[in-house]
Chains A and B, each alone.
Chain A
Amino acid sequence: MKRIFASFLLVCLVSFSLQIKSFAYSTDPEKFITEIIDQAKLILNSGVSKEDKAKKLSVIALETVDVKGIGYYSLGKKRKELTPDQLKKYESLFEKYFLKSFTSRLTDYSDPKIAVLSAEIASEKYTIVKTMLLKTDKKPEVKIDWRVYTKDPNKPLIRDLIVEGLSLARTQKEEFASILSTNDNELNALFNKLEEFVNK
């Protein structure tokens, strides 16, 4: 009986996790972003703990954001100097850093009201989806543009958020460059900072 119950539980857990991971996002960038926003809203409005919200948002992020690409972009030209082992370590650290930073920013918002306004094809590889975080009593409205990478039209991925004209990916890249330049271009200094952030 115990075995049957354990098997049933395992099947339930596996199918639940597959269900989360296998959500079929639209290939149309505007619908793609709308679906992500709707899913994030459901999570942020749910009564679960902040940690659980972060876990669920991480699943969405891994599915819809080009985390590896953003990591490479953030490292800039320094990436070419890395050994395969260093690169592997960086990719793993960056993913942890990114997810923590991403979910921490999002979980600060409860019940965000975002309107998807329009989409504009910027080039063969990019579509910009324009959205607006609506005004509240405390905060003014905020324009947020989602830079969607559409090189593979069947699998769009988010590469950047441009908040009121300010690129978060660029800010991150310049942050990494600053850490390297103030530490004699020493990669371990960046690794230490990332680890420090992940573990805090």
Chain B
Amino acid sequence: MSSERIKIAVYIVALVLAFSSNTFAAEKYSANECFEKFSRGTLKFNQALDKAIFKPVAKGYRALPVPIRTGSSNFIENLRSLLTFSNNILQGDLKGAGNTAGRFTINTTVGILGIFDPASKMGFEKKSREDFGQTLGVWGADSGCYFVLPVLGPTTARDTLGLVGNVFIDPVYHLTHGSETDLVVGNENVGEHNYYIYKGTDAVDFRSKNIESIDSLEKNSIDFYASVKSLYLQNRAQKISNSPIASKSQDDSDWEEIDNQ
């Protein structure tokens, strides 16, 4: 990483921390709106885009034979674990980093470039992904306000900075971009477009696994925008807390008033 990139990364982190408060624990499930009208409009635009492009592609992907889908999903997951590893280290989670590194080594070699997942059978547990937005959360940064990005979907100020931060610490990005990494690879075959194919396949794989659940959410919500916001914020809080027991991250106090009536 060049010194200029490091400077930018440090600046981003400083910016987030400067604007963050220490209210994360109390406010972890909520975030103020940045510009709700715009976000509601963007969500509708994203839904239309999804209906026209992403959902049909995901349905087509789902029609592929199971071994092909499983293999490509494993391959992508293996590559994605490199970004998780960087974030494990930044979060000071050395045990997690060891597990991620172990999985990557085994699956890349024995698992033939990650197409198979022998690591899980060898006791290296498959854990959830980590990203730089989560790392900022672990460092104590508040989520900041909530908004919806075109195509990319729901996010917060912290997670948007996290998206930018991911670029600096994602080894796959560096393998496919930039001159330093070309030296490592030793040829020009690993082009930038491979990075976008990898990202696109990851998105299609995710969408194909969630066709029914997203349909059901759309059908059963009386305010779809609010449902998406709530689920997004809960999901991020859950991922940042890394709580092995999901239910423990839920707050009993919300029910107290009803119990004591």
Contact = CB atoms under 8 A, between A and B. Distances in A.
Given A178-B223, A194-B222, A165 B249 contact: yes
A145 interface: yes
B250 interface: yes
Interface stretch (B47-55, B81-89, B180-188, B228-236): B228-236
B246 A108 contact: no
B170 to A, nearest CB: 24
Given A69-B258, A165-B238, A167-B234, A179 B222 contact: yes
B62 A147 contact: no
A197 B222 contact: yes
Contacts of B219: 104
B212 A193 contact: no
Contacts of B252: 122-123, 125-126
B2 interface: no
Contacts of A159: 255
A175 B227 contact: yes
Contacts of B36: 182
Interface in A134-190: 137-140, 143, 145, 147, 151, 159-160, 162, 164-167, 170-171, 173-175, 177-179, 182
B212 A108 contact: yes
Interface string A44-71: 0000000000000000000000000100
A132 to B, nearest CB: 12
Most chain A CB inside 10 Å of its own CB: which residue of B215, B223, B243: B223
Interface residues of B, number: 36
Contacts, number: 95
B254 interface: yes
Contacts of B249: 165
A108 B217 CA distance: 11
Contacts of B227: 171, 174-175
A5 B62 CA distance: 55
A178 B220 contact: no
Contact of A138 (B62, B216, B231, B255): B62
A124 B196 CA distance: 51
A3 interface: no
A145 B244 CA distance: 12
A105 B230 contact: no
Interface of B: 29, 36, 62, 66, 209, 211-212, 215-216, 219-223, 225-227, 229-231, 234-235, 238, 243, 245-250, 252, 254-255, 258-259, 261
Given A167-B234, A170-B254, A177-B226, 12 more contacts: A126-B252, A128-B245, A128-B247, A138-B209, A162-B246, A165-B246, A165-B249, A167-B250, A170-B29, A171-B231, A175-B230, A178-B226
